[in-house]
Amino acid sequence: MKKSFLLLLLFVISFTSFTQELPFKKIKLSDSVALANQMQQFATQCDTQNLSAIDQFKFQLIRGYYEDALISIKKRIEETPIDQSQYLDVYKYYVEAKLSTNFKETFTKAYSKYVANSNDLQVINLDKFLIVRDPTDYYVNNFNTTYNSIKTEKISQSVAIDLVKKYFLKRVFSETRAIYFDEIKQDHNRRYVVNDSIVIPMKDGAEVSIVLIQRKGHTTAKKSTILVASVYAGTNETSAMLAASKGYNGVISNTRGKRLSKSDIKPLEYEHTDVYEVIDWISKQPWSNQKVAMFGGSYNGFTQWASMKHKVHPALKTIVPMVAVAPGIDYPMENNVLHNYSYSWNFYVANNKFLDFEASNDFNRWNSLKNKWYKTGVAFNKLDSLDGQVNTLWNTYMQHPSYDDYWKKMIPYKQEFAKIDIPILTITGYYDDSQRGAMYYFNEHYKYTKNPNHYLLVGPYDHWTSQTKPQENLRNYKLDNAALINIEEDLIYQWFDYILNGKEKPGILKDKVSFQVMGTNSWMHKPTLKAMTNDTLKFHLSSNKYNDFYALKSKENNSEIKMSIDFRDRENMTNTAYYPWPLEKDNINLNDGLVFISEELKEDVIINGSFFGKLELSINKKDVDYSVIVNQLTPEGTYFHLSYFIGRASYAEDREQRNLLIPNRKTLVSFDNSKLISKKLEKGSRIVVVVNVNKNNNAQINYGTGKDVNIENINDAEIPLQITFTGKSSISLPVWKD
């Protein structure tokens, strides 16, 4: 009884402490001493017993309890894999320096020794985490914005805790960045010979800037060369260093106009000629053995395919395109729906010779812009007018809403794939934003080439982890151990050694198509994409209700399911959950779109591949942008986002030619290029399908007039969209049954 009372008393004290408000008096952020004292006071007053171990450490440091903080951070480092401790090591040396009488000297000596004792890969990762993806400016701005947004004279415990954690990051990184930048860069000079002043001419008179990186002591021997062709000037040096550390020459070529090139910056448009000429230049250098391989992700994956647009250079022996963008296919539009995330990208890559991080990271600007556009209902082609800055590339994109010659000239098209006869390893992820681009290249290569030497590896990765190394969790989902492979540092170079040096093929590539089956801790290997599937689960939409859901039926039926969208309503959005983040959640919005549910699965199955569908519908307009999301409702009652599709009905038959719908006439709209996935669906699971119309602030709004969607505006929304789906509409899931 006494023990229970004591526990209750402690709980009350703890709860009272946690809910207690703290006095807040805003001071000038430029007054670093006063700010440090204020944050120390908050850190001391906050109840932190329920915080994580790493957050406990942060509060120890801000309170000035450096001895305790040092013990905490050393323990955390011992528990953390060495390739994930880059930030933690900065914290440790920071605390040690705070315990000394000369912070700068102590931190510099300790960090210099730490870098010198690290191997090549460790230092490369330090550069990637701390320099290439330098978080300091974000941390500083994040704290300053949060601090300045406080308008009250008291703050809650939760606000104070958030403030202290953000202050910790601002303080540690802003006080150490210049030091570790210098130490890492000095260490590079000790290990590598870097020639970053090469400029080569193109046949049309333009210039391309080149960076050559070689291991010290190995600059004269003829070696194979690993090439990365990129628009992201200044961020790929670590890739070339990795190549040099693996025994190759590392070369970076930047898009014309970037780095030292005096040409105009033209992303996408000239890689189909420029990259070929760069390969030719490499093959003629005294350090080249006339063998060139390429790798890279996203834009750097696109450039590899672009280099083979007209012909494959004899020196190009293999490519490893990861999450490769396909212009006009999945960027800047997906199935002909133009998304606005590419709007800011254009400023990021084209504002200067390197990259405009300030513009790219101005999230307030981009969020305000898309919200203002949505609220006002102006045409999509007025975005840069609202922004107050001309966006030349964006305006060019909008002139090409179909897959026309502007896009076709950038990458191989149809029969041009037939001449590509080198070994290729394509890598993508189930949650990669560019998966459809990567799969476009793979599918077209197989379509036009007889038995190509082309491998595909795909797993539960996103756009970033498909290029590097996945962590244990992806968007709140814990990955199987089998999925945790080191793609960049191990797999890719096993492939290069196999192709260029005659070594053994990577063990994970047991067949042409390798994919990790989520929930089984295993990989499957098949000779083709079609071989991934030996059955299909087919569901038809119906108007029958099952609690809050419509029912998915196994057979066609005479149902009519209606929905109405008022494009004038700018207080609400539709299709806000089509993007898979997080992957698993307790519930979904049953009021956003038409939500259908299947009966329980009678046995375990594996969904393998891209779901496809045929929607029989009629609308009172000439066009509509629609989406289909497929979820698993697990036996435990959680929703897992499996895959999705978004597209424009008028381009369903042909991405190159718009075919408008006839109002109020039934039409069959088919699709078959949703995101590929592989996951075990346990017995007792249900399939939940959400069919929706796209109306939100992330993409064009198709008002259905039949005019160019970019010029439509809210004045075209007088009549709401009325759409009716019939029971002949079906969604088919490709599955594997043992």
pLDDT in tens, 701-737: 999 999 999 999 999 999 999 999 999 999 999 999 9
CA 19 to CA 632: how far, in whole Å?
Answer: 39
CA 236 to CA 70: how far, in whole Å?
Answer: 34
Instruction: Report DSSP letters for 221-241, one per residue.
Output: S-EEEEEEEESSTTS-HHHHH
CA 329 to CA 436: how far, in whole Å?
Answer: 8
pLDDT at 9: 34
pLDDT at 716: 98
CA 64 to CA 43: how far, in whole Å?
Answer: 10
Share of the chain above pLDDT 90, in %: 96
Give the largest CA-CA distance in the chain: 89
pLDDT at 3: 38
**CB of 564 within 8 A of CB of 578?**
no
The amino acid sitting at 15 is: F
pLDDT at 19: 52
Tell me the pTM.
0.94
For 524, 534, 636, 681, 687, the CA distances from 603, given in Å and listed in that order, are: 19, 15, 16, 9, 13
The domains of the chain, with CATH numbers, are: 19-189 (no CATH), 202-329+407-530 (3.40.50.1820), 339-400 (no CATH), 534-736 (2.60.120.260)
pLDDT at 16: 39
**Rg (the chain; Cα; Å):** 28
**CB of 709 within 8 A of CB of 401?**
yes
**CB of 532 within 8 A of CB of 430?**
no
320 backbone dihedrals φ, ψ, rounded to 5°: -130, 80
pLDDT at 370: 98
450 backbone dihedrals φ, ψ, rounded to 5°: -80, 115
Token pair listed for 649: 């009905």
Give per-residue pLDDT as tens, 643-696.
999 999 999 999 999 999 999 999 999 999 999 999 999 999 999 999 999 999
Please list the ranges in the chain whose pLDDT falls under 50.
1-18
CA-wise closest residue to 666 among 613, 620, 709: 620
**CB of 542 within 8 A of CB of 435?**
no
pLDDT at 133: 92
Q: Residue 589: is it exposed, middle or buried by C-beta count within 10 angstroms (0-12/13-18/19+)?
A: exposed
**CB of 147 within 8 A of CB of 29?**
yes
- Neighbour tally for 370: CB within 10 Å: 20
**CB of 95 within 8 A of CB of 61?**
yes
